[in-house]
Structure 1
Amino acid sequence: MGVFDESKCNCCVCPMQCVLEQLVGNQIVIATTSGSGGVTLFNVDNFIAFTSEGDFPICNISAVDLLDVNINIKLKPIRNNKGRCSCCEDPITNLAKTLIRQQVGIEFIPTFGAGTIVNVGEGIIDFKSFVVSSCFTTRIIPNNQQQTFEASSGSIFGRPLHKITPPLIN
């Protein structure tokens, strides 16, 4: 899990690269700023995820669904950042940290999901079966508002909530 340099990549790209490095060789579903789909992850290098469906810049990956991958993702520790991180990523990461072990709904570009937050690290919210970039999170709905969220959304990565089905890419 490489070392962060002092750049604007600290709060979302570096942490997502660290997550993806742990998933090399597995089939996963990635959500990008333009959609989501199933891939086999071949390699991660220089902020690019090399997959069976093409190569993705990590800066556009908003979340990863782990499908049947049974792994405890190791996350980078939370740190204080400057610039965009301090006004965008830091507040949502800190909020998510207060919600560990709680059921929440979460909206992120381009979709939404629900689950129990199991861990929070620098730029990453871990739900065990999927991880979301804090930088792409647009809303967290605490469990006291969860029923309304589930009734209105009903899916994650285009699939029913809490149910893993085959990948979306043909």
Structure 2
Amino acid sequence: MCDCGDCGCCPGSNGSGSGLCDCCVDPMQYVLEQLIGRVVRIGTTDTSSGTYPSATILDVNDYIITIRQGANTIALPICLVVGVQNAQVQNVLLLPPPLSNEGECDCCERPLRELFDGITTADVDALGQAFNNLSNTQILETGEGIVKLRDNNAFIALSLCKVASVQNFS
């Protein structure tokens, strides 16, 4: 599992930007590895330029995703990836939920995953701009750290650690 210690890539419990990576990083890396070579929409927590609407995934390695957006090659830390959208997302495999959680995973990821397990539709708001305001989405599947959604005809794998709110659920 991702244990980057004091690497600074992932928010710590005090929001300082240092600490253990959240429990959604390994699951997101697992999803992204299955989409190498595909053109996807990627969203990050960056509120000004964190949306990559037509990015080709070139590589996923050591918690970094390398994409090509137009003529630019860009490396993104997976700990800041909010979600990924592509038709193939409906077929990606998710990691199974862990048998036990501790710390942030037990107080953030697990309860949200269990909430999504019990509902079929919801309005979902995530951090960043790419996947905020998803209205009347269909909940397809959950796994460790990830929820797969269908928003109209778009399939999205969203990091549970980057979900800001779930509203109007049933």
Gaps of 5+ in 2: 5-19
Q: Which amino acid aligns with 2:162?
A: F
Distance 1:57 1:24 in 2: 16
The CA RMSD measured in Å over matched residues stands at 1.9
In structure 2, the residue matched to 1:125 is 147
Structure 1 counterpart of 2:107: 87
Matched, 1:18 2:30: yes
Cα offsets for 1:90-130 (capped at 9, x unmatched): 1111111111xx12110110223131011000000001501
Matched with 1:42 is: 58
1:103 pairs with one of 118, 121, 134: 121
Identity of aligned residues (%): 30
Q: 1:70 to 1:94 in 2, by over 3 A?
A: closer
Aligned mates of 1:6, 1:48 — CA distance in 2 = 14
Counterparts of 1:155-166 in structure 2, within 5 Å, are: none
How far apart, CA to CA, are the structure 2 residues paired with 1:65 and 1:49? Answer: 15
State whether structure 2 residue 42 is matched by structure 1 residue 30.
yes
TM-score (norm 1): 0.74
Superposition deviation, residue 143 in structure 1: 3.8
State the SS of the aligned residue for 2:124: strand
Higher-helix-fraction structure: 1
Aligned length, in residue pairs: 138
Shift of residue 61, structure 1, vs aligned partner: 0.2
